[in-house]
Amino acid sequence: MPLSLDALTMLLGTLLFAALLAGGLWGPRAWRAWRRRRVVQQPFPAAWRTILRRRMPVWRRLPADLQLQLKRHMQVFLAEKPFIGCNGLEVSEEMRVLVAAQACLLLLNRPSDYFPRLRQVLLYPTAYWAHRREGDGSGVQHERREARSGESWVEGQVILSWPDVLEGAADPGDGQNLVIHEFAHQLDQERGRATGAPFLGERARYARWAAVMSTEYRRLREQLGRGEQTLLSPYAATEPAEFFAVASEVFFEQPHAMAERHPSLYDELARYYRVDPRAWG
């Protein structure tokens, strides 16, 4: 059967780039950029659009230019990141689309290499049990089991509970979004262990970031110590890395409240993420 024009064009392009790679004229970065351009030139599947409209209300509120960006980011993400179902879960197209859409909100208006450390996304049908080792202060290590809904590993895995993914997409105003939380960790882990200070691009920006984040982190811990109600969940006070991840959830889901109660924090995150979710309606 003769090849279609599109198939022939893709085949010739692939052969050309393979020859250039073999000749040392193109490196992996150029090959990756070419492949991604090919991916985003494909039509965005109508089934994906239907899933977004039905399951992710924030999709309908995004301006047209950000919708277009998000669609392209999703296409690349889903072409490059494998999904694995755990504990008997069969990964569906809806699962892949909803994870990708929420994760790629963090990439809007920003140069990105699509979470370069991420090698795979693991999905569980419910919260799952994880083993954790802790010292007791005397040097003795103890192992305990704890239920978790998600994790981000610097080795290249994001682990998610599917019900929590679904719930995070369904309610974009409760300040809780598991996918945003774990993929904020991935941004924080691009250069190693999560510290609460993701890569900012320019060295001069780190001083302001550190000043704002440390002030807000300390303020949260003081408020919790006084028994006050806080916009950010108490989990944000456990360590700076969790503060950044929780603050990212609230930034995208409760932007008006954060801008009013934590204006410096909101401005710093808006500068980092390069979006203003208050304008999304």
Give the count of beta carbons closer than 10 Å to the beta carbon of residue 239. 14
What local confidence, expressed as pLDDT, does residue 25 receive?
53
Rounded to an integer, what is the distance from CA 217 to the centroid of its chain? Answer: 22
Q: CA dihedral defined by 19, 25, 27, 30, rounded to 10 degrees? A: -90
Give pLDDT, residue 203: 87
Hey, what are 97's tokens? 């689309």
What pLDDT, on a 0 to 100 scale, did the predictor assign at position 142?
A: 46
Angle at 25 between CA 20 and CA 26, to 5 degrees: 75
Domains in the chain, please, with CATH? Answer: 46-131+142-280 (3.40.390.10)
Q: Convert the pLDDT of each residue in 155-187 to its tens digit.
A: 999 999 999 999 999 999 999 999 999 999 999
Q: Which residues are CB-neighbours of 175 under 8 A, at least 6 positions away?
A: 231, 233, 249, 250, 253, 254, 257
CB of 76 within 8 A of CB of 39? yes
Question: In this predicted model, what pLDDT tens digit does every residue of 112-171 receive, in sequence order?
Answer: 899 999 999 999 999 887 766 655 555 554 466 677 889 999 999 999 999 999 999 999
Q: Which residues of the chain have pLDDT under 50?
A: 141-142
